[in-house]
Amino acid sequence: MTSTVEIDAGICGFKTTAVVASEDGQAVSFEVQSDCEKIRDLGEQLRSKGAIDAYQEISTAKESVLMTTVRATLKGCCAGCAVPAGLFKAMQVAAGLALPKDVTIRLAKGAGPSCGSEAKPCICVKATRAIGRWLRPRRST
């Protein structure tokens, strides 16, 4: 199966398109095209790793090759880039581990009408916390 993802990374203005393919529903390969030099480098790094095991990527037993590569490649302000999440979702779809559905992140300065308080956080606060946990390096056991 093949999955294509188009990502508008936000204020930087860079656009990324990636095709993630899997012939067997487990091993995936990435083809990444981007206006961003760092994301192009990330794509090259992923391509150089060859086929990546999508099942291993979603497992908590082992470090994610995709996220390890992201952390090594995207530093500083780029650490919060939305592209890695899009690549991860496309990988899941290509391997048949998820159905294709658009993901939306809305940002606003200050608390908007849809935002709850810290005592009763809204979905955007909960999502931010979940993404933060997802991006943290896993500890090996």
pLDDT of residue 109: 80
pLDDT of residue 105: 84
What is the overall mean pLDDT for the chain? 85
* pTM, 2 dp: 0.75
pLDDT tens for 67-98 read 999 999 998 777 789 999 999 999 999 999 99
Residue 95 in tokens: 């391997």
| pLDDT over 80 at 33, yes or no | yes
CATH placement of domain 2-103: 3.90.1010
Burial class (CB in 10 A: 0-12, 13-18, 19+), 79: exposed
pLDDT of residue 136: 64
- 27: helix, coil or strand? strand
In the chain, what are the domain boundaries?
A: 2-103, 106-141
pLDDT tens for 4-21 read 999 998 888 999 999 999
Nearest to 51 by CA among 93, 22, 86, 71: 22
pLDDT of residue 45: 95
| pLDDT over 70 at 57, yes or no | yes
pLDDT of residue 78: 79
| pLDDT over 60 at 131, yes or no | yes
